[in-house]
């Protein structure tokens, strides 16, 4: 299972989170966000990663309604290998970004208000490499702390890999993973002291809970093929 911790701003925290076992670090590239980081700050975090992990851990830039040219610039300047689109990007724009960055993973985030909203996922499945389902909020694009109604996702099986996001914490992760079967999880506010300031004890607790899930529900479901939870 992929484990992405998003909203990284501090090099020492990025290093610790990688050591705990995260398979991806997320960097918010939306200037209006309190978790925003510049490409230079992203480079500082990446350069502080433990030896060997900078190439094995995914570095995901999170964008919202940005121009293709701007996304390409930040990807190169920040040393990113994945792009997450968290705005109102169309499938056509996703295809434009994929053409411009053919070696970069493309993730489309969708905010899910109810079961009917899941229908929108079908138009993106062939345009991106993975989906991310986040909780709906009328004014905020992410990091709200709100959860999706997990019962609506019990039979969700898209044609591409998907990550569960939205209000996940060390306290509720086991409950969520009993109900749904995502290919990965994404946490931000659920392991924070304040926006962009991660609570490393909470991150450590998260991986403790994931180990418990692995022991309860099966090894292959909860161990990432990239970086085992040990």
For the chain, percent of residues with pLDDT exceeding 90: 74
Contact 108, 83 (CB under 8 A): no
pLDDT at 140 over 60: no
pLDDT at 142 over 60: no
Position 144 scores a pLDDT of: 56
Region at 9 (left for phi over 0; alpha for psi -120 to 50; beta for the rest): alpha
Question: Strand 192-194 vs strand 197-198: parallel, antiparallel, or unpaired?
Answer: antiparallel
Q: Distance (Å, rounded) from C-alpha 15 to C-alpha 174?
A: 25
pLDDT at 227 over 50: no
Position 204 scores a pLDDT of: 97
- Average pLDDT of the residues in 139-151: 69
Whether 213 sits among the annotated catalytic residues: the reply is no
Q: Considering the domain delimited by 2-222, tell me its CATH architecture.
A: Alpha-Beta Barrel (3.20)
pLDDT at 218 over 50: yes
Please tell me which residue in 29, 94, 134, 213 is annotated as part of the active site. 134
For residues 165 and 114, the model is more confident at 165
Q: Which two tokens stand for residue 189?
A: 């506010």
Please tell me which residue in 6, 29, 94, 213 is annotated as part of the active site. 6
Judged by average pLDDT, the poorest of 44-53, 73-82, 123-132, 209-218 is: 209-218
Contact 182, 163 (CB under 8 A): yes
Q: Distance (Å, rounded) from C-alpha 226 to C-alpha 92?
A: 30
Domain boundaries, the chain: 2-222
- Average pLDDT of the residues in 60-70: 98
- Average pLDDT of the residues in 203-209: 96
Mean pLDDT of the chain: 89
């Amino acid at each position: 299972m992929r484990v992405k911790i998003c909203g990284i701003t501090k090099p020492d925290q990025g290093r610790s989170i990688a050591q705990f076992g995260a398979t991806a670090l997320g960097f918010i590239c939306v200037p209006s966000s309190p978790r925003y980081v510049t490409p230079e700050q992203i480079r500082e975090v990446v350069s502080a990663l433990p030896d060997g992990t900078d190439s094995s851990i995914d570095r995901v830039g999170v964008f919202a309604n940005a121009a293709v040219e701007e996304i390409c610039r930040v990807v190169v300047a920040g040393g990113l290998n994945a792009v997450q689109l968290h705005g109102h990007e169309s499938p056509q724009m996703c295809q434009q970004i994929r053409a411009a960055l053919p070696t970069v993973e493309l993730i489309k985030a969708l905010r899910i208000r109810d079961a009917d909203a899941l229908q929108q996922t079908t138009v993106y499945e062939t345009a991106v490499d993975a989906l991310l389902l986040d909780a709906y909020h009328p004014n905020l694009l992410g990091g709200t702390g709100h959860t999706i109604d997990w019962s609506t996702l019990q039979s969700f099986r898209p044609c591409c890999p998907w990550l569960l996001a939205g209000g996940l914490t060390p306290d509720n992760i086991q409950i969520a993973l009993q109900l749904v079967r995502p290919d990965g999880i994404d946490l931000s506010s659920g392991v924070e002291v304040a926006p962009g300031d991660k609570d490393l004890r909470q991150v450590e607790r998260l991986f403790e809970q994931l180990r418990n899930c692995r022991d309860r529900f099966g090894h292959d479901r909860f161990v990432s093929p990239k970086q085992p939870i040990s």
